[in-house]
Structure 1
Amino acid sequence: MIVLGVNLMPAFGPPTWSIIVLYGLGTQMPTVAIILTGALAAALGRFALAHAFRLLGGRIPERIRDNLAAAREALERNKRGGLLALGVFALSPLPSAQLFEAAGLAHVRLVGFTAAFFVGRLVSYSIYAVSATSIRKSSIGDQVLEMFTSPTSIAIQVLMIAALVALMRVDWRKRLAGGRA
């Protein structure tokens, strides 16, 4: 429930990997259960977040909706490249909320998008959970707890929100047409 709730947050939630690590450090829950439950809850939360932003899309100006539609069309034309980029992103520890918010606003098909995210999270959460269980008795657990209020983590969240706003302001039809409107 914690992972699901955090992944419903549009910004400033603790990174899910840190919750995975905390469960690995502080519980006797089987590692496989931590990984599967965490990845499924993260994917469901992000899927729901994208749908919520899809519903909010009607409230943004038509010019921005047109730009997002152009970005979606380009992504759908190059499915392989888009899924590869999503897979790499899903493996990274970067915040994913803004990616799913943009996907929702752009009306990207979310099932495949979320499935790629889920697979990527299975891999990355496996690394975090196995690492956490192997260092359970060391002092690094205290250091992980301090990361919730890290200025770097907060700065990354702010930058990702700014990137989402910038994404919506780009004239994608013009950019993707090579300057031809």
Structure 2
Amino acid sequence: MKTVKTKSEVTRAQIIQGALQALEKTGVIGTTTRKIAAEANVQLATLHYHFESKSALLVAVLEALIDEIAERLREDRGETEPNLDERIEILIRGTWRSIMQSQTRQIVQYELTLYALREGAQWLADQQYEAYLRLYRDQLASRSGKPELSLQSYTVLARFILAGIDGLILQELVKPNRSRSGRAIEALIHGSKQLAQKLLREA
């Protein structure tokens, strides 16, 4: 059953989308709440009613981006219960596919991280990183009720994959080469499976 959104929820989503469009066009530094309101086609007062600050809106943008990737990963996994090796493949391939379809958004996310660190908003950078870590960990976890790994071990594996993905994103953005990146993704999958086996032996 489809959930019906309230007018307030629709307006909030509209503002978040407007913020993302503005960020893609002018970057974090060049994006003002006035520009966001214009992109979202709402009054500035309406924007400030839903978001008390630019930082609050940036957090909402990050959450929307992560939710978008999470939804695609859920669709890739479906209702089946793949084994851990298969879940690793689904996570890495699905994440990379989403990234390649939205490279401009990846630049926005890196800008948001650097902006947060430069402006003394360490919490925003932390929140972004932890959200991705939770997403990866949840995608790796078993749904059967019998986890193969401890929460700590799932976190170790998620951190390894996240670090690999981040490095490959930067490499592809700076010097695009889909063939090279494809080979690197296969290597990351292989390395992640090896780490998973090591963690399983230690469990």
TM-score by length of structure 1 reads 0.35
Q: Which has the bigger relative contact order, CA under 8 A and spacing at least 6?
A: 1
Q: Which of the two has higher C-alpha Rg?
A: 2
TM-score normalised by L of structure 2: 0.32
